[in-house]
Amino acid sequence: MNIPYISAEEIRKNLSMEDAIQCTENVYKLKSQDKTVVWPTIFYEFDPGHADMDIKSGYLPEQHIFGHKTVAFMEANVQKGLPDLVGLIAVFSSETGMPLGLVDGSSVTGMRTGAAGAIGAKYLARKNSRNALIVGTGNQAPFQIAALLKVFPTLETIRIANPHNAGHAAAFASKIRAMLQTDFAIEAASVTFEGVSDLQEAVSDSDIIITITPSHTPLIQKEWVKPGTHFSCIGADMAGKEEIDSQIFEDAIVFVDDLEHCRNAGEIEIPLKQGTLSEDRICGELGDLILGKAAGRKSDTDITVFDSTGMALLDLAVADFLLKKIGENGKKMEQPWEDK
């Protein structure tokens, strides 16, 4: 049995950020229409804060596929010359149960997670937003910036902050323009990139803030936030993680990607437990907003929050797109049920 495998190199050649955004947005809409199934996540920390893994799985009936993604974060891999984020997506036919293919998980994760943060901003941020702030300088940061520039091409300034190491932020800002060109074919000649050391000042001057850290304590305080700010909170993906002050939720318009998972492991988990956010004030899942089933921003002064913990559905949709595209473009891909 020969199972097709799509490597990170093939993904870079065949998946644009526009493709990732389209796949991701389509999944949000399907989920709002009850045309998806999400199964419980398995999460385990080998070394809390430094090494963990999760297994996310789901089913897309219209595409006739189901599957799972296993991803591991291993901080010590950097010293070993290995990537700190590794993973694999397995796609199966829901009609036969046969494996359809394996796809590199870290590359797809980067693209669809970047797409998620940007789609949250697309539907919730002010249309005249000019300044963005990315909090976090890890593996996910370039993807968030690339996707955000696709949906907000008129951004003037993107600031980058590393709350624990301002030097990392400055170094990242100095190389991101070249990374966007090389890795995403994005020209960003008119955008100013700044590494910042004063997080409070950067927050107070930002229209869109995307948080992508593993923090267990709030990095951004409510009093720093100006009216009209949008947050896409991406980093909180397990119980106990928290990137922004729970008081921000008191007056915010809040959407999530998957209510059940966010309730237990997302940015809204702690505010719900503390009572600064009640469940009846969660406006809905993002697909509800995209399809016009729920109201979003009402004024330019509203604070909006999109809580995204990530779903295997997104990985499956992108993996399915890649398996079909590469096959259609003439690359010989062995059918997994054909014994040789």
pLDDT in tens, 90-107: 999 999 999 999 999 989
105-124 and 17-32 helices, crossing angle to 10°: 70
How would residue 329 be classed by pLDDT, with cut points 50, 70 and 90? low
pLDDT tens digit string along 121-140? 999 999 999 999 999 998 89
Sign of torsion over alpha carbons 246, 250, 251, 253: positive
Question: 60: number of CA atoms within 13 Å, CB side?
Answer: 26
pLDDT of residue 291: 98
Rounded average pLDDT over 1-30? 94
Task: Report d(CA 155, CA 194) in Å as an integer.
Answer: 13
Residue 338 token pair = 């054909």
Give the list of residues 6+ apart from residue 45 with CB closer than 8 angstroms, or none: 51, 52
Percentage of residues in the chain with pLDDT exceeding 70?
A: 96
- pLDDT tops 70 at residue 172: yes
User: What's the whole-number average pLDDT of the chain?
Assistant: 93
Element holding 132 (H helix, E strand): strand 131-135
Closest to 220 in 3D by CA, of 127, 309, 133, 114: 133
- Tell me, what's the pLDDT at 336? 41
Give dist(CA 86, CA 78) in Å, integer.
12
Q: Are 208 and 152 in contact (CB under 8 A)?
A: yes
Residue 334 has pLDDT above 60, yes or no: no
Residue 323 in contact with residue 91, Cβ under 8 Å?
Answer: yes
Residue linked to tokens 């960003």 = 188
Query: How many other CB atoms sit within 10 Å of the CB of residue 8?
Result: 15
CA–CA separation, 115 and 292 (whole Å) = 20
Give the helix, strand, coil percentages of the chain, each rounded to 5. 40, 25, 35
pTM of the entire predicted model: 0.92
Residue carrying structure tokens 């300088």: 137
* 16-59 residue pLDDT tens: 999 999 999 999 999 999 999 999 889 888 998 789 898 999 99
**pLDDT at 331 exceeding the cut of 80:** no
Tokens of 6: 């799509």
Domains of the chain: residue spans and CATH: 5-108+313-328 (3.30.1780.10), 118-311 (3.40.50.720)
